[in-house]
Structure 1
Amino acid sequence: MSKPFDMELFLTTVLTGSCATRQRHLRQAKLIQAEISERWQLETPWAWQRKHVTWFLEQRLAGRCAATRYYYLLTVRLLARRLEKPWVFKCQATI
């Protein structure tokens, strides 16, 4: 029996800011993980490729307001930093 992936432990080293900001990033990262896991059966961020995250940003957030897309983009940048990936995503949100 395996333990579920702990997103909070995974992001601990890159989370900064106020408590509310850290909680928002954790909540959003867990949602990103759940959506990618449901679509591609990839349980941990270590298995993700850039295309999976791009799919989430472009397809799953398509109907959301610009501010929401921007905040998810910030969370994705934290995930990429933690994974030590050189991923760059365009900010399609204009606030």
Structure 2
Amino acid sequence: MSKPFDMELFLAGVLTGAHATQQRHLRQAKIIQAEIAARWQRQTPWAWQRKHLAWFLEHHLSHRSKATRYYYVLTIRLLARRLKTSWGFNP
């Protein structure tokens, strides 16, 4: 029996700022994780590729406001920093 992936522990090293901001990033990261897991069966960020996050931005957020998309891009940048990749995403 394996433990579920702990996104809070995964992002602990890169989360900074106010408590509300940290909670928003965690909530959004969990939403991103759930959508990618449902679409590609990739449960952890270690298994993700840039295309998975680009798909999330393009398809899941296509009907959302620019402000919402911007905040998700900030969360995705945190995920990329934690993964130590050079993936770039524009808001």
Shorter-normalised TM-score: what interval? over 0.9
Take 2:85 and 2:58, find their aligned partners in 1: how far apart are those partners? 19
Displacement over 2 Å in runs of 4+: none
- State the partner residue of 2:65: 65
TM (normalized to structure 1)? 0.95
CA deviations over 1:28-63 (Å, ceiling 9, x no partner): 000000000000000000000000000000110000
What CA distance in whole angstroms lies between the structure 1 residues aligned with 2:66 and 2:89?
Answer: 15
CA distance in 1, matches of 2:81, 2:22: 15
Output the amino acid matched with 2:62: A
Pairs within 5 Å for 1:71-82:
71-82=71-82
Q: How does 1:1-95 map to 2 (within 5 A)?
A: 1-91=1-91
How many percent identity over aligned positions?
71
TM-score normalized by the length of structure 2: 0.99
- 2:30 aligns to what SS in structure 1? helix
Gaps of 5+ in 1: none
Query: Once the two structures are superposed, what CA deviation does each residue of 1:59-90 show, in whole Å capped at 9, x if it has no partner?
Result: 10000001000000000000000000000012
